[in-house]
Amino acid sequence: MSKAEHKKEITEQDEGVNLKGTLYSVSAVGVVIILSWVGVWALFLSR
């Protein structure tokens, strides 16, 4: 394995880890937004 191939392999692994963290963060923000909308909707229905 040449140095270029090894560096490419390490870079691909690093990008995967970063994207996994991004997925979790975006999912958490999405859940917060959905919960806030459900809360406002429930408040609207109760009035």
Only one residue has tokens 């909308």, namely 37
Q: Could you tell me the residue range of the domain that residue 11 belongs to?
A: 1-47
Number of domains in the chain: 1
Euclidean distance between CA atoms 36 and 44, whole angstroms: 12
pLDDT tens profile 2-47: 666 666 666 666 655 678 889 999 999 999 999 999 999 999 999 8
Write down the pLDDT at residue 19: 86
- Greater confidence, 1 or 20? 20
Q: First and final CA of the chain: distance in angstroms?
A: 68
